[in-house]
Structure 1
Amino acid sequence: MPAADHGTRHRTGRIHAGRGRRPAPIGPGYCLQPQGPAAAKPYVLLLGALRRASKVALATSAWHGRERLGPLRVRGEVIALDALLRPDEIRDPAPAAPAPARPRPGRTG
């Protein structure tokens, strides 16, 4: 599949919403809206289909020159896109961990 153009979305698959799947690292979320009258009908159809089927659609999108994969979810009356993080975007939490606590000499707890 060719790379998506700036701001375009392509639905690539569907999974059941809320199943016990291993969580993926999710980045920022975006609320989507149709751009113009021609996009309103497909948007409403996708919104209704996702709601009726209790499904999450997997889509690719391109923002800031980088293609991403992410789930399209129904949130209220809008479709939300959550960007999945790539391994190089996830920081190692070890440097942020606090140092182990050591008891001070002469004090008892």
Structure 2
Amino acid sequence: MVPGFVQLGLIALLFQLTIIGGFYGYLRYRHPVGDPSARWRVLKILAGGTCLLAIGQTAALGAVGSLRVTPLLSFEQALLVQDAGLVVTLVGYLVVFAGFVIHSRASVS
């Protein structure tokens, strides 16, 4: 059983992934990319970025949440894992942003 803030954080993570997927679907529908290789590159970049941000947020939530359930980590180690998860999440958001920029530059006008 995980603490409530971890469950709430996972729901927020699913909401964020839904927003990113919905925005990509909208862009793909309204501004399609003509070149299949560019479309595939954008899809890989967006998928990689969303995986990074999901892994980062899950690790950050799980590190602090594990202190309340089973103390596998010390408090300092949990904060270190949480900070590393935050960095991975920020890198994931930068990659997602880069994917949207590449999509907008490659789209057919």
TM-score bucket of the superposed structures, by smaller chain: under 0.3
Q: Bigger radius of gyration, 1 or 2? A: 1
Higher strand share: 1
TM-score normalised according to structure 1 size: 0.25
TM-score normalised according to structure 2 size: 0.25
Higher helix share: 2
